[in-house]
Amino acid sequence: MQTGVHQVNVHPTPSLMTRIWLAPRNPVAETAVGWKWRSRLQRRQTAEFNAEPSLSSAVRSPKMARLEAALFVAENAQSARKLAQIALLADGREALELIEQLNALYDSHRSAFRIERVAAGYRLLTRSELAAWLDRIHQRQARLKLSSPLMETLSIIAYRQPCTRADVEAVRGVQSAEIIKQLMERNLVRITGEDTSLGRPYLYGTTRLFLETFGLTTLTDLPWAERLRRVKSVDEAVEDDATPAESTEAA
């Protein structure tokens, strides 16, 4: 059809599309093909801008950012409920969901950090494979270093708790009052109650800081925990069986 208007034939080649994008005021960009292409691109960019951040993105939602900040500044492990209160979340369940999303982000970006369950809560920690390198920088090993007597006594209490000082000394073969006192000063050991035996001696057990220091969730995470705790139970059963016989002989 002849309309008196000069007709321009436009072929949507890649080079033309590039020119339209780089120079949108070019008269060719005003053609139908150029307009449709720019409109389609604008809709796609708008959809991407309004979309929720994906796990492959480093962008955090406000809730996720608040939770991450709370974990970063916390000195001790925090429960999911406590984290929800600090980060203004609905409840502990939402906190756990966001923790999973943050860990997915860390894993996808090979981050040095990860949120781990420690003791009765959660902490933002560096990955275990970086521990040796960080020790040289921060000298954490020097601060947490325990002497052989301290470590030996702490191990006995950890595996045999609740136990008395006499129980510890029976295993070590030496006086342990001062060693137990030092462990209590470091907040690794605490008094958990009193024994029912003569004199009602104190019973000792490990603390929450003990779990955090050694990266444990519960005491069952101790190496060979089931086997060594079973040995303790057998020893107690043997002692209980021997007591009536001793009483009869004494009578």
pLDDT tens-digit readout, 113-164: 999 998 889 999 988 888 777 777 665 555 567 889 999 999 999 999 999 9
Summary mean pLDDT of the chain: 76
pLDDT at 19: 35
pLDDT at 80: 94
pLDDT at 67: 95
User: What pTM, to 2 d.p., does this model score?
Assistant: 0.52
pLDDT at 221: 87
Q: Residue 20: what are its φ and ψ, rounded to 5°?
A: -60, -45
What tokens appear for 142 in the block? Answer: 């020097």
Answer yes or no: same fold for 62-136 and 146-250. yes
pLDDT at 11: 44
pLDDT at 35: 57
Domain 146-250 class, CATH top level? mainly alpha
What is the rounded CA–CA span in Å between residue 241 and residue 176? 28
Q: What is the CATH number of domain 62-136?
A: 1.10.10.10
pLDDT at 133: 77
Where the chain has pLDDT below 70, the residues are: 1-58, 137-144, 228-251
pLDDT at 130: 84
Q: List the domain boundaries for the chain.
A: 14-50, 62-136, 146-250
On whether the CB atoms of residues 156 and 163 are closer than 8 A, the answer is yes
